[in-house]
Amino acid sequence: MADDEVRTEGSEEEGYLLQFSADGVFLTIYPLTVIDSAVITRILDEYQAEDYDEGDIVRIIKSASGEPEKIADKYTAPKKNADIDEAVPEEYAKIFVDVSKDRMEAVVRFDLTYGSKLPTADMVRDALKEKKVVYGIDEEAIEKGVQSASFFVAATGIPPKHGQNAVIERKFDLSDAGKPKIGANDRANYKDLNLFHLVKRNTLLAVRIPHTDGVPGKDVYGNTVAAKNGRPVPMPVGKNTKVIEDNKLVAAIDGQIIDKKSTIAVDPHLVLNSGVNVATGSIDFTGSVEIKGNVEQGFVVKATGDVEISGTVNGSIIEGRNVFIKGGVNGMNRARIKAAEDVRMAFAESADVEARRDIYVSDVVLHTDLRAGKKIILEGKKAQIVGGKTEAGEEIRVNSLGNSSQVITRVSVGIDPNLQGQYKETVARYKEGKKRLQQVTQMLATLSKMDISKLSEDRLEQINQLTRSQFPLAGQIRRDETTIKKLEQELADMKHGKIRVAGTIYPGVRVSINSIQKQFLSEAKHCQLSLEDEVIVISPY
C-alpha cells in the first residue's frame, strides 16, 4: 500500500516523471520526449501498481503534454535499503537494462532510490552481461552515460536488410493512347489520336530488374535475425514477344503493343490504304486494323485488336477492342459498332453503338442507340443527342439533349447496359435450362416404369441419350446460377449515375437514373441530374 511519502522516478531531463503518493500514481511525459512504454511499465511493476491501463500510458506518451495524469490508485513501494534494519545502505544506484521488443536496442537506466552514487562503467558492463546483452555494445555511450542519471542506449543491434522484389520496367507509355491532342483554344483534335502504339521487330519492350537477396542482421543478444529475400517475377511474355539475355523482352514481329499488365503482346497490324468495299471484301483479322478510307454499306470489319477508320462507316458492322471512326457513322438503320473497350467517333446517325467502357463523340448523335458500361461523353460545338436511346453505367455528358421539335429522346444512367444485357440473357438461358431438365426428368421417370426387355433399340437409345443429356444440362444450370448471383451483386453495387448537360434539356427528353424515371415537359439549362433519396434532382452544372 502507498504511504504518505511521495516517491518519484525519472526527471524532466529523462523526459518522464512518475509520482507515487497517497492519492495514487501520476505520470508526466515532457514535450519532445521519445520513450518506450516498457520503461514506464517496468517501474510500475516494481512498485506493484494495481489496475493501470497500458493504453493510457501509450496515450500520455504520445500527447507529451508535460502535465501529470493519474494512471493508478494503489501501489506498494519497494523497500529502500534504509528501511531494512539489518541491511547496510548501498552506495550505488540500481542498474536496470531494458531490451526493446525487436531486441535491437538495450537501454540502461539508474534507480537512485537504491543509492545516490552513480554506477561505474564496469558495473554497467556487468549488468549487460547478466542480461545476456553481448552484441553491439557502445563503449563510448557507456562511459558518457555513467556521468549522469539519464537513461541511455548501451547496445544496438544490426537490423536485417530485406531484399528487393524484382521489377518490370516498361520501355513504352500507353497512357495517352486514344486521347485527342489538345490544340489552340483547348480544342480536342480528333484527327490526331495516336490510337496505335506501333513497334518494329526486336524493339525493346520491357526490362526485368532482378530481385535481390536479403542481408541477415544481429540482435543485442548476439542472435542472427533472418532477412527476407526479394520475390522474383516472371517476364511478361505475351503473343509475338520473346525474352533475350534473360531479362529483356522484345517484339518478335512488327505490330501494335498490347499491355495486359501480366503480359505484353504485339498484335499484327493490318493497313488498308483504301476503304472496305467490293474490291477488298469484308475483313476478319487477328490483330489491329487501320483503314484509310470508308467502310461501305453491307460490309463487315472484325478485329481482335483495335480498329481505326479514317473515313465514314456507311451501314456497316464494325467490331474490335477499341473502335475509332474519324468520319463518323451513317447508320442507315443497319450499322452496328461494338467495342470491347472504347468507341470514338465524329458523329452517329441511325446506328447501334456499344462499348464495354466509354463512348466519345465529337459532334452529334441522331436517332442512335448508344450503350456504354461506364461513360458517354459528347464534345465539340454541338455535342447533342436527339432521339434514340442512350444508356451508360456511370455518366452521360453532353451540351444538349433533345431539340426544339421535342423529339422523344431516352437517356439512362446508373445501370451498366452491357451487364444488364448479360444478366437478362443468362436468366433466360437458366429458365430454359430448368424447363428442359424438368422435361427430361419427367420423360425418364415415365420410361423407367416400362419393361426394358420389351423396348425397341430406338427407344433404348432414346433413354440413353436423355440420361446423358441430364449431366451437361445440370452443369450449365449450376454455372448460370453462379453467374446470376454474381451479376446481381455487381448491378447492386453500381453507384448512382449522373447526367451533365452544359446547354439545354428540351421537352420530350425522358431520363432514367437507376430505374427512377423523369420526363421533361419544359426546358432545363446548365444542369446536372442525379439521384437523391430515390428522387431525380436537378442541380447546377
β-pairing, 395-398 vs 375-378, is parallel
pLDDT for 188: 62
Give the separation between CA 478 and CA 35, rounded to whole angstroms. Answer: 60
Let me know if residue 312 belongs to a domain.
yes
Q: Are residues 385 and 276 in the same domain?
A: yes
93-97, 306-310, 438-442: least confidently modelled range: 438-442
Task: Flag whether 384 is in a domain.
Answer: yes
Residues 433-442 have a mean pLDDT of: 84
| Beta bridge partner(s), residue 349 | 330, 366
Of 106, 121, 156, which residue is a domain's last? 156
Q: In terms of domains, do 289 and 402 share one?
A: yes
Beta bridge partners of 518: 511
Percent of the chain as helix, strand, coil, to the nearest 5: 20, 35, 40
Map grid coordinates 521487330 to a residue: 201
Distance CA 419, CA 415 (A): 8
pTM: 0.52
pLDDT bracket for residue 420 (50, 70, 90): confident
- How far is Cα 231 from Cα 312, in angstroms, rounded to an integer? 51
Q: How far apart (Å, rounded) are the C-alpha atoms in residues 478 and 75?
A: 67
Q: Are residues 207 and 291 in the same domain?
A: no
My answer on whether 284 and 387 are in the same domain is yes
**C-alpha torsion angle, residues 450, 451, 454, 458 (rounded to 10):** 50
Domain assignment present for 514 = no
Q: How many whole angstroms separate alpha carbon 426 and alpha carbon 423?
A: 5
Same domain, 281 and 402: yes
Q: Are 384 and 361 in contact (CB under 8 A)?
A: no
The domain boundary residue, chosen from 243, 266, 289: 266
Per mean pLDDT, which range of 80-89, 250-259, 395-404, 461-470 is the poorest? 80-89
Q: Which of 150, 147, 138, 141 is nearest to 119 (CA)?
A: 147
- pLDDT, tens only, 231-274: 999 999 999 999 999 999 999 998 889 898 899 999 898 888 88
On the CB side of 405, how many CA atoms lie within 13 Å of its CA?
6
Q: Is residue 487 part of a domain?
A: yes
Q: Same domain, yes or no, for 433 and 396?
A: no
**Domains in the chain: how many in total?**
5
Q: Is residue 57 part of a domain?
A: yes
Strands 307-309 and 317-320: unpaired
Question: Which of these ranges, 121-125, 280-284, 368-372, has the smallest mean pLDDT?
Answer: 280-284
3-state secondary structure of 242: strand
Please report the DSSP string for 229-252 in residue order: PPPP----B-TTEEEETTTEEEES
Residue 519 lies in a domain: no
Tell me how far apart the alpha carbons of residues 497 and 125 are, in angstroms, rounded to a whole number: 71
81, pLDDT greater than 60: no
Are 97 and 128 spatial neighbours (Cβ–Cβ below 8 Å)? yes
The verdict on 275 and 311 lying in the same domain is yes
Q: Tell me which of 467 and 261 has the higher pLDDT.
A: 261
User: In the predicted model, what is the mean pLDDT of the chain?
Assistant: 88
Residue-level pLDDT at 83: 47
Distances (CA, A) of 27 to 50, 51, 71, 99, 152: 14, 14, 7, 22, 20
Q: Are residues 259 and 367 in the same domain?
A: no
Decide if 291 is inside a domain: yes
3-class state of residue 94 by DSSP: strand
Q: Which three cell numbers stand for residue 423?
A: 444478366
pLDDT in tens, 6-51: 889 988 888 899 999 888 999 999 988 778 888 888 888 888 888 8
Give percent of the chain with pLDDT exceeding 70. Answer: 91
Given a cut of 80, is residue 142 above it in pLDDT? Answer: yes
- Regarding beta strands 307-309 and 288-291, do their DSSP bridges make them parallel or antiparallel, or are they unpaired? parallel
Q: Please count the other Cβ atoms lying within 10 Å of the Cβ belonging to residue 63.
A: 12
148 plus 94 within the same structural domain: yes
Residues 274 and 407 in one domain: yes
For the segment 161-175, the average pLDDT, to the nearest whole number, is: 94
Domain end: 230, 246, 266, which one?
266
State how far Cα 451 lies from the chain centre: 63
pLDDT at residue 86, as a whole number: 46
- Residue 516, domain member (yes or no): no
Domain region containing 441:
418-493
Same domain, 178 and 142: no
Q: Are 269 and 288 in contact (CB under 8 A)?
A: yes
Query: Do 224 and 362 lie in a common domain?
Result: no
